[in-house]
Amino acid sequence: MEYALTFEQYQEGLEKGKLLGLHCNTCETFTFPPMGTCRNCNGTDLKVAEAGGEGIISTFTVVRVAPEGKRPPYVVAMAELKEGPSVIGNLIDINPDEADMKLIGKSVKLGSQMVEGDVYSSDDCRVITFSLKEG
Ligand SMILES: [Zn+2]
């Protein structure tokens, strides 16, 4: 199977501040993060497309007991992108002790940060982060 967007290309995009996903030429759905097929119709006629980089927090949790190698507390959130898909990432730039239900529905800007490889993954990689938008 040939991928329209490889993991390496996706990672390079994140490094440059670009959120690369896939546009389906069959059903016009946007798939993010990228995968082998369209998230809606499983089609493979896909082309690389960039997400706008904004979303709305739909849910979150504060991690106080973290996996080995991670430093709690931190906030993991799910945000719905303007393009439709939901993605999970760390909500940064906030004090986890002040996280409350008012976060749900807030607008966030997507970014990325480098995470070192650990016992659960072999290499360093870039992951999605969220920052609250002002206002
Ligand atoms: Zn499709």
Q: Ligand 1 centroid vs 79 CA: distance in angstroms? A: 21
Q: Ligand 1 centroid vs 12 CA: distance in angstroms? A: 25
What integer best gives the mean pLDDT of the chain? 93
Determine the pLDDT at residue 75: 97
For 41, residues 6+ apart whose C-beta sits below 8 A from its C-beta are: 24, 26, 27, 29
Whether residue 19 contacts residue 50, with contact meaning beta carbons closer than 8 Å, is answered with yes
Which residues have CB less than 5 Å away from ligand 1 (the ion)? 24, 26-27, 29, 38, 40-41, 43
Q: Check whether 17 has a pLDDT greater than 70.
A: yes
Domains and CATH numbers, the chain: 7-50 (no CATH), 54-132 (2.40.50)
Q: Ligand 1 centroid vs 117 CA: distance in angstroms? A: 33
Ordered DSSP codes for 10-34: HHHHHHTT--EEEEETTT--EESS-
pTM over 0.95: no
Determine the pLDDT at residue 118: 75
For 46-75, write each residue's pLDDT tens digit.
999 999 999 999 999 999 999 888 889 999
Q: Ligand 1 centroid vs 41 CA: distance in angstroms? A: 4
